[in-house]
Structure 1
Amino acid sequence: MILTLLGGGGFRVPLVHSALLRDRRPGRVTELRLFDHDAGRLAVVARVLEEQAAGMPDAPRVRRFTELADALPGTDFIFSAIRVGGMAGRAADERIALEHGVIGQETVGAGGISYALRTIPVVAEIARAVRTHAPDAWFINFTNPAGVITEVLNSLLGGRVVGICDSPAGLARRSLAAAGFPDLDVYGAGVGIDYIGLNHLGWLRGLTVDGADVLPELLADAAAVESFEEGRLFGAPWLQALGAVPNEYLHYYYFRRENLLAEQEASLSRGAYLSRQQAAFYAAGAGDQAAGSALQLWEQCRLDREQTYMSDNRDAAGTFERDTADLQGGGYEGVALAIMRALSGADGASAGEGAGETRLILNMPNAGTLPGLDSDAVIEAPCLVGADGIRLLPAEPLPGYAAGLVTTVKAVERATIEAALGGDRNAAYRALAMHPLVDSVRVAHALLDAYTDHFKELAYLR
């Protein structure tokens, strides 16, 4: 198979490559195409991949492209991991939000809306290129905000699109371990995950092992709840009150004041920190005389990135260190590999599923799964993936604690899409004003002015 990765100069590309190297089965990827407008970043990442593949004579061939039309023809799968505006754009999203007294995280609230407004027009151009040069390819979206971008791509590419995120599987893995099953694969035989919501806005409502739901017993044990990351973030009393385990990003909604204070008191925002770190990595790895091992340098930066992940939230909750198992990073690359193998028919059946089908938590159009959302609304939920495509598994309706928030945030996403595809400033204004993390219409107006003044990519909204 041929895989084309958009954003091929990105920092997380070696994670995808490492997953491809570990896959020794028939039907694996034999050619990896990296597309990026920045040839310098591509060269640094290619150096890391070359070191990763050292000593493996049958490693996938790696090719570099700076023109999308050259990278697409003949490809079987397309991964999108682009960041419009770069890490500096993320830092600006966060800074502007904080200057206006609201949370600045890159995928939720004002920062996520600004990020989407910059990204959707670029994604629309990419979709046009895909229709021309690779109409039969499957498009796997990593690009954030993942739910919004996946919904746009589905509307433009007619269905051969799926969005992925590693948060739900990580949440399920940690919950299984806390419940006394550390060695079980979250997608393995006998394990069932009742997870539902939107991207970065979902809840684990049930967790079965051999047909028995182990989540109620876990939630009843406060010490066990607070032995894993989400339990320490939210606290046992709140998880017990919900009867569910929220996705880590819901911490911004449930602990808004604490998170805002932690972000305001931080010496650097997360985006500014990563912007500085990654600039140093690419500078050190550039040029023919780059000192030392590019792979070792990348590993050091990756470990630091994982150790500091959601550090402001941990500060807001009362500082704690991440578990060693959570520092391995990645996860989404394994999901992407599983999707490719299942869609291509390369894998056999998972236990309990039909021939060649794999069970994964993905971002897909609702198609009647959740009442209250239309069929085209992208949700994040368990799916079956096979050679015939992807289908959502049946799910219970959203509980009361979730339904209103999901409906509101989906309305924000829809207004954001309307603004970006139609060049509608009023729709962007509505999106910002409706978001639960933006608590004032006046602030929403000021945020829109500030973002459109700062970003040249948002000139269409001025």
Structure 2
Amino acid sequence: MKLTILGGGGFRVPLVYGALLGDHAEGRVTHVVLHDLDAGRLSAVTRVLAEQAAGVPDAPEVSATTDLDEALTGADFVFSAIRVGGLEGRADDERVALAEGVLGQETVGAGGIAYGLRTVPVAEDIARRVARVAPDAWVINFTNPAGLVTEAMSRHLGDRVIGICDSPVGLGRRIARVLGANPGEAWIDYVGLNHLGWVRGLRVNGRDELPRLLADPDLLGSFEEGKLFGTDWLQSLGAIPNEYLHYYYFNREAVRAYSQAEKTRGAFLRDQQAGFYDEMKQPGTAALTAWDRTRAEREATYMAEARETAGAGERDADDLSGGYEKVALALMRAIARDERTTLILNVRNRGTLSVLDAEAVIEVPCLVDANGAHPVTVDPLPDHASGLVCSVKAVEREVLAAAESGSRTTAVKAFALHPLVDSVNVARRLVDGYTAVHPGLAYLK
């Protein structure tokens, strides 16, 4: 089976390959094609993968190319993990937003809109190419903002594109762990949009264990989200939010922390990864060792500003291992081998959430089989959550409309309608600022 990874020179690709090395079953991936526009990054990642594969006799073959059609031809699965504008673009997203006193985080608020505006046209072009060159392939989208980009691609690929994120998986794992439950046996009632969802229940043997957690302040305050949001707020909500909701519930504090940080997250990763790729230009570099060292630092500093604001301290060791590659592999196995499973995924709504239309991409538990991912019926969200979901989905739709029409006015509307942008005039200045630094937004007129 052939797997094509778009953004194959990306830093997290070895996580995917590492997961593939552990799969020895019939019908496994035997050929991985890395595609990237940057040949130097492709070379660096290929070296890391070669060291990972050492001593594994049935390791999937790896090839690399900068030609998109060549990469897609004959693919059974396509992982889309592109970053339009690179990490320099992410750092610019943060800088421009903070200059206006609003959040520039990669997927939330002004930064997420800017990233979406320059990514959607590229993602849609990829979707059209997949439909033409590899019409039978399944596309698994990692590209952020994951829900928005998956919805854009679904307009060309229908249900054959599925978005994934490791945040809900990590959240469910942490809740199960503090409750003494096996995460693999627990049913996680999670509903929302990507980076905008809530765990409302965790059932083990038919019993919802979440009320027990919410009723115990010591237990509730013992894990990441309890430290991040505070036990009193979680008890008020009666649910455990995705960590990214910290940017909504504590926005003023988050903006202040970003503004006072020596480096924003994007600038930190830009410089850190530049160091890694520069190191990889040296022929004698131990590639896998260098990558492991850089990854450990990356994971340990994840959402550092939010944790500092909340006084949450360092991340627990169990939360430093990633996880999105495991979700991707489980999804791919379920489809390729009809190994039926349940995963939290980004898929078209199809009536699951009554407040959104059928084509809206949401993040919910899905039953997965050879025919793809099927969202599970869920209870309605409470009004406060439903209002936020509808508001952010409306913004995503304006981003899609701006990308399709090239309308600067529509782009301003997308920024202005976001709950974390507090003025139409700020929205106008954001569009001016972003178009000035991002060549990928030159299409806005």
Compute the TM-score of the two structures, normalised by the length of structure 2. Answer: 0.99
What CA deviation, in whole Å up to 9, does each residue of 1:73-102 have, x standing for no partner? Answer: 111000000000000000000000001100
| Identity fraction in percent | 60
Distance 1:277 1:2, change over 3 A: same
Deviation at 1:388, TM superposition (A): 2.1
Corresponding residue number in structure 2 for 1:326: 319
Question: Is 1:305 the counterpart of 2:298 in the alignment?
Answer: yes
Decide which of 243, 247, 251 is 2:238's aligned counterpart.
243
Which residue number corresponds to residue 339 of structure 1? 331
Corresponding position of 2:166:
166
- Bigger mean CA deviation after superposition, 121-130 or 277-286: 121-130
Structure 2 distance, partners of 1:215, 1:223, is 14
1:355-394 → structure 2 map (5 Å cutoff)? 357-394=340-377
Deviation (angstroms), 1:424? 1.6
Q: What stretches of structure 2 of length at least 5 have no aligned partner? A: none
Q: Give how far 1:422 is off.
A: 1.6
Report the 3-state secondary structure (helix = DSSP H, G, I; strand = E; otherwise coil) of the residue aligned with 2:337: coil
In structure 2, how many angstroms separate the alpha carbons of the residues matched to 1:389 and 1:291? 44
Unaligned ranges ≥5, structure 1: 348-356
Give distance in 2, aligned partners of 1:292 and 1:86.
24
- Give the counterpart letter for 1:8 in structure 2: G
Asked if 1:154 corresponds to 2:154, the answer is yes
Provide the residue aligned with 1:409 in structure 2. Answer: 392
Aligned to 2:270: 275
AA aligned to 2:241 is P
Q: 2:209 maps to which residue?
A: 214
Quote the offset at 1:401 in angstroms. Answer: 2.1
Amino acid corresponding to residue 302 of structure 1 in structure 2: R
- Kept in 2: contact 1:33–1:71 (CA 8 A): yes
Structure 1 partner of 2:40:
40
User: How many angstroms does 1:290 deviate by?
Assistant: 2.7
Q: 1:15-43: per-residue Cα shift (whole Å, max 9, x none)?
A: 00000001111111000000001000000
Written as runs of structure 1 = structure 2, the 5 A alignment for 1:54-69 is 54-69=54-69
**Map of 1:188-267 to 2, 5 A cutoff?**
188-189=184-185, 191-267=186-262
**Partners of 2:198 and 2:240 within 8 A in 1:** yes
Map of 1:354 onto structure 2: none
Secondary structure of the structure 2 residue equivalent to 1:158: helix
CA distance in 1, matches of 2:272, 2:125: 30
> What SS class does the counterpart of residue 37 from structure 2 fall into?
coil
CA distance in structure 2 between the partners assigned to 1:6 and 1:87 by the alignment:
16
User: SS at the partner of 2:302?
Assistant: coil
> d(CA) in 1 for partners of 2:382 and 2:2?
42
Output the aligned Cα RMSD.
0.9
Contact 1:284–1:291 (CA under 8 A) maintained in structure 2: no
Q: Which amino acid aligns with 2:126?
A: I
CA distance in 2, matches of 1:252, 1:294: 36
1:409 and 1:112 map into 2 onto residues whose CA distance is: 11
Aligned partners of 1:14, 1:370: CA distance in 2, in Å? 36
Question: In the TM superposition, what is the alpha-carbon distance from 1:346 to its structure 2 partner?
Answer: 5.2
Q: How many pairs are equivalent?
A: 445
Give the 4+ runs in structure 1 shifted more than 4 A.
none
For 2:12, the equivalent position in structure 1 comes to 12
